[in-house]
């Protein structure tokens, strides 16, 4: 193997995987519908009121079929939006159950199909299989386009600063899943309404879940304009 002797320039400037999250009906899906060449994969019927390049999935099986179709067509979309990653987590519980059933200790789990969740396993053991299922789907979806945008819901998080409890904005995913998704994304933006416009913040200085590896997005808090995010 030949090791580099000179500095290798960055191969891209824009985020490959990106997370945007915010309150319901804040304009996330509408903004995505305005991103040229973006296919919205709607997991929650959130795109019914917008004109968009879109397709619906009502289960992981349907999501898998959509993925296969995209691959068979040569991955024609520059952008794909998964709307929402929060719903993807819900669906992954069933996939996690199937992963657990493949193990010797889980082969008889919920054999009567009463709808038991692996998250009921003692000592939080089921979350290991949920993380595996979620990571499998996150990676699979990430390969469907040059840029993949995962849309999430908002939840509050509470921190103690200087002896006082403060509230900040957070992505609505279970703890470890949030860490996995954020670690595997180049940018995380909080979407909100301000000055009669849909805005996005990548600023984490106020303790919101936000940030970016992309230099041009670090600390940015501005109107949501896709041309300011995807610059190459």
Q: Hey, what CATH class is 17-229 in?
A: alpha beta
- What is the rounded average pLDDT of the residues 15-23? 96
83 neighbors 39 (Cβ within 8 angstroms): no
Tokens of 151: 């849309």
Q: How far apart are the first and last CA of the chain?
A: 31
Please indicate, yes or no, whether the overall pTM of this predicted structure exceeds 0.85. yes
Mean pLDDT check: name the lowest of 59-68, 142-151, 203-212.
203-212
Q: What is the pLDDT of residue 148?
A: 98
Distance CA 139, CA 39 (A): 18
Average pLDDT value for residue range 183-209: 92
Among the ranges 10-14, 73-77, 176-180, which has the highest mean pLDDT value? 73-77
Q: Which residues contact 194 (CB under 8 A, 6 or more apart)?
A: none
- Sign of the dihedral through C-alpha 180, 186, 228, 66: negative
Q: SS3 for 118?
A: helix
**Which residues, 6 or more positions from 131, have their beta carbon under 8 angstroms from its beta carbon?**
176, 177, 180
Query: What is residue 168's predicted lDDT score, i.e. its pLDDT?
Result: 85
pLDDT of res. 104: 85
Give the distance between the most distant pair of CA atoms in the chain.
62
- 20: buried, middle or exposed (CB in 10 Å: 19+, 13-18, 0-12)? buried
């Amino acid at each position: 193997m030949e090791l580099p002797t000179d500095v290798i320039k960055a191969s891209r400037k824009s985020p490959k995987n990106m997370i945007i999250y915010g309150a319901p009906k804040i304009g996330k899906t509408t903004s995505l519908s305005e991103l040229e060449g973006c296919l919205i994969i709607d997991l929650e019927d959130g795109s019914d009121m917008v004109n968009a390049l879109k397709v619906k999935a009502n289960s992981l099986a349907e999501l898998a079929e959509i993925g296969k179709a995209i691959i068979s067509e040569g991955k024609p979309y520059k952008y794909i939006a998964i709307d929402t990653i929060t719903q993807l987590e819900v669906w992954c519980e069933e996939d996690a159950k199937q992963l657990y059933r493949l193990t010797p200790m889980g082969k008889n789990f919920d054999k009567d199909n009463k709808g038991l969740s692996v998250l009921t396993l003692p000592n939080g053991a089921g979350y290991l299989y949920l993380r595996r299922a979620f990571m499998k789907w996150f990676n699979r979806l990430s390969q469907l386009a040059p840029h993949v945008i995962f849309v999430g819901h908002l939840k509050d998080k509470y921190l103690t600063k200087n002896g006082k409890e403060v509230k900040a904005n957070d992505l609505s995913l279970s703890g470890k899943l949030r860490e996995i998704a954020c670690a595997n994304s180049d940018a995380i933006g909080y979407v909100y309404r301000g000055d009669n416009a849909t805005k996005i913040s990548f600023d984490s200085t106020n303790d919101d879940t936000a940030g970016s590896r992309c230099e041009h997005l670090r600390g940015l808090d501005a109107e949501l304009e896709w041309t300011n995010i995807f610059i190459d």
